[in-house]
Amino acid sequence: MNWYEKLSKYFPVEEMKSKEHMETLLEEKGDVYYKDEGKYHVLMYAEFETFIFIDYVYVSKDARGKGIGHKLMEKLKAKEKPIILEVEPIDYEDTDTEKRLHFYQREGFEHAKSIGYTRRSLATNELNDMEILYWSPKHETEEEIFEKMKKMYKNIHTYKDKELYGKSYQPVDEVLTFNDEESDDIFKELD
């Protein structure tokens, strides 16, 4: 199974970029978009000057619990930049969502409670709500994380979207919102 098949079997269709989109990013944005692949893992991420965005991280079921995910996070944390990622909210019918949140909580990630993220899938045309998690070595504010997310969305998620999919994703201001009043913390649901 190649790297794209591994990702597409693990992630819901509404969250997946096309293989062509990811290959275009790797080729044309190779100065910021990377693939780290091994026998038991695939990590797709963008590294900008002031932050890292994890696009996809997959660890094979056979290798879970063996420290691979932790090693991947440590490798990224060693760069001493904030790390941001999107994660689906807990779905109690899908135990992987809860396990994923526990993993990121153990790795020191925080829930960006003031950042809202809702994007229409080009594959299914359905609206998807996602949570934003971040790890920050210098304690950036959620407002700073929000600005970094906007940069990532414009540079990675919507890169050549019209050309690749025949239509465009929504503009960043429709997808990402910032609310100073804190909402519920998804990590509290885990306790």
- Which pLDDT tens digits describe the chain residue by residue (191 residues)? 899 999 999 888 889 999 999 999 999 999 999 999 999 999 999 999 999 999 999 999 888 888 999 999 999 999 999 999 999 876 656 556 678 888 999 999 999 999 999 999 988 898 999 999 999 999 999 999 999 999 999 999 999 999 999 999 999 999 999 997 655 565 555 55
Considering the four listed CATH numbers 3.40.630.30, 3.40.50.11540, 3.40.30.10, 3.30.300.30, the one that applies to the domain covering 3-190 is 3.40.630.30
> Strand pairing partners for 37?
42
Query: HSE (CB half, 13 Å, CA atoms) of 69?
Result: 21
Token pair 């509404």 is found at: 14
Contacts of 101 (CB under 8 A, 6+ apart): 87, 90, 186, 187, 190
Residue 20 confidence (pLDDT): 97
Q: Buried (b) or exposed (e) across 43-78, using 16+ Cβ within 10 A? A: bbbbbbeebbbbbbbbbbeeeeeeebbeebbeebee
pTM here is: 0.91
- The residue type of 19 is K
